[in-house]
């Protein structure tokens, strides 16, 4: 086990910069997730750590060794690929033992370690099969097993769950987290799925256009996204975003005015409101409220999602294009999501009084997308 240190790492393919001046320290035993939309450079960064991609500038350290110019085999890392990359002409046993054999580990030792890991992953009965005879989930476990057997300094995982169906993916996610707890090996995990990133990562680095925008604990990313892109990217359902104006101690967006307790340092801002910052007013007395017309109601059992229109253009700022998926219906009004108590009396087409929690509003710069560290409003400061 070892820490991994990236120092101003850059990768250029001709005129295109895939990874741009990335510096990052991954602690010994940490589970770090690199997340971002496709083409953001996360896979390239992982492949550079593995040594599969040459570094255009900067340094990569694993433990106390500068591995920037070392071949992949000299870096003592193990990698799990999106396609698993199991050797089709070898049995599961040979697949798992290949790395040890390549490193001239004595045969009894290989047999012992393969058996041990196969037991751990429930592969003991499949050792003599070939990859073609395995299901998707089994292949995934063999790929993990091949990495674990090696007892490397670090695991590099490149979207290892994306080829599995949704149900299996959730199960494997939990197993991965358990495995990491048990083995405690430094892990770098690449995914484009923010749910995977949030549930697995001890820290999550959000990447875009080859840069790391923010690297923090999942809760911090969710609670204090430092720009609009991360605000839109992290969280499901996504944060509601709309352009608004601040006048004194109120913020206007669309047809609504809401009193705020802390003010951003600008008159025109992007207002970000998490779905859970709303509640059916019947269950949250004493909060400011807004009247909404219910467009869609999704009842999930544990809670309900209420969709309603806000009379303001949806955030089509360039910053958001890659962050959130567009809906099917073209609309010139923003569609908001509120997460409310499952006992809500909301009906589609009816009106609903929603309580809002202004203290949890996020404000972003209209031009740069940077987060405003809201100043406490004078009323509170005077106290």
What is the contact surface with another protein in residues (CB under 8 A)?
50-52, 71-73, 75, 77-79, 81, 83-89, 98-99, 102-103, 131-132, 146, 150
Report the DSSP beta bridge partners of residue 341. 303
Query: Rounded to an integer, what distance in angstroms lies between the CA atom of residue 145 and that of residue 169?
Result: 17
Task: Work out how close the CB of 83 gets to another protein at its nearest, in angstroms, rounded to a whole number.
Answer: 5
Kindly tell me which of 14 and 108 has the beta carbon lying closer to another protein: 14
Kindly tell me which of 58 and 72 has the beta carbon lying closer to another protein: 72
- For residue 155, the surrounding DSSP H or E stretch is strand 154-158
Kindly tell me which of 31 and 84 has the beta carbon lying closer to another protein: 84
Task: Work out how close the CB of 50 gets to another protein at its nearest, in angstroms, rounded to a whole number.
Answer: 6
217 to 179, 186, 199: CA distances (angstroms): 20, 16, 11
Task: Work out how close the CB of 237 gets to another protein at its nearest, in angstroms, rounded to a whole number.
Answer: 34
Query: Rounded to an integer, what distance in angstroms lies between the CA atom of residue 289 and that of residue 294?
Result: 15
Kindly tell me which of 49 and 172 has the beta carbon lying closer to another protein: 49
Task: Work out how close the CB of 326 gets to another protein at its nearest, in angstroms, rounded to a whole number.
Answer: 31
Kindly tell me which of 85 and 266 has the beta carbon lying closer to another protein: 85
Strand arrangement, sheet containing 16-26:
16-26, 4-13, 57-62, 65-66
Kindly tell me which of 82 and 250 has the beta carbon lying closer to another protein: 82
Contact yes or no for 95/141 (Cβ under 8 A): no
Kindly tell me which of 131 and 358 has the beta carbon lying closer to another protein: 131
Task: Work out how close the CB of 152 gets to another protein at its nearest, in angstroms, rounded to a whole number.
Answer: 9
Q: How many residues does the chain have?
A: 383
- Closest to 75 measured CA to CA, from 56, 55, 90: 55
Task: Work out how close the CB of 197 gets to another protein at its nearest, in angstroms, rounded to a whole number.
Answer: 22
Task: Work out how close the CB of 379 gets to another protein at its nearest, in angstroms, rounded to a whole number.
Answer: 59
- DSSP string for residues in 307-352: EEEESS-B---HHHHTTSPPPSS--SSEEEEEEEETT----TTSEE
Residues 6 or more apart whose CB falls under 8 angstroms from that of 230 comprise 206, 213, 214, 221
């Amino acid at each position: 086990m070892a820490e991994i240190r990236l120092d101003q790492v850059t990768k250029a393919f001709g005129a295109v910069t895939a990874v741009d001046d990335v510096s990052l320290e991954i602690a010994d035993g940490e589970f770090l997730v690199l997340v971002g939309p496709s083409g953001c450079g996360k896979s390239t960064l992982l492949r550079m750590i593995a040594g599969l991609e040459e570094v255009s500038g900067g340094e990569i350290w694993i433990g106390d060794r500068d591995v920037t110019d070392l071949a992949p085999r000299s870096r003592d890392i193990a990698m799990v690929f999106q396609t698993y990359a199991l050797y089709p002409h070898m049995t599961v046993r040979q697949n798992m033992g290949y790395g040890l054999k390549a490193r001239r580990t004595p045969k009894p030792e290989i047999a012992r370690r393969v058996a041990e890991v196969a037991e751990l992953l429930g592969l003991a009965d499949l050792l003599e099969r070939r990859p073609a005879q395995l299901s998707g989930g089994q292949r995934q476990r063999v790929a993990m097993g091949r990495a674990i057997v090696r007892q490397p300094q670090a695991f590099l995982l490149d979207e290892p769950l994306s080829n599995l169906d949704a149900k299996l993916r959730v199960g494997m996610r939990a197993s991965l987290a358990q495995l990491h707890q048990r083995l405690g090996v430094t892990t770098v995990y690449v995914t484009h799925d923010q749910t995977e990133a949030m549930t697995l990562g001890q820290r999550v680095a959000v990447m875009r256009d080859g840069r790391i925008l923010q690297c923090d604990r999942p809760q911090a990313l969710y609670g204090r996204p430092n720009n609009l892109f991360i605000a839109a990217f992290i969280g499901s359902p996504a944060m509601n975003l709309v352009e608004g104006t601040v006048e004194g101690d109120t913020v206007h967006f669309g047809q609504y005015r809401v009193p705020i307790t802390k003010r951003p340092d600008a008159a025109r801002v992007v207002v970000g409101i998490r779905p859970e910052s709303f509640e059916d007013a019947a269950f949250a007395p004493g909060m400011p409220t807004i009247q909404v017309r219910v467009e869609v109601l999704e009842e999930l059992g544990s809670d309900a999602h209420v969709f309603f229109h806000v009379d303001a253009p949806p955030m089509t700022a360039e910053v958001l294009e890659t962050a959130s998926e567009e809906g099917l219906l073209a609309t010139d009004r923003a569609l908001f999501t509120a997460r409310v108590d499952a006992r809500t009396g909301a009906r589609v087409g009816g009106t609903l009084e929603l309580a809002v929690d202004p203290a949890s509003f996020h404000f972003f710069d209209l031009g740069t997308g940077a987060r405003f560290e809201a100043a406490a409003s004078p009323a509170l400061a005077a106290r």
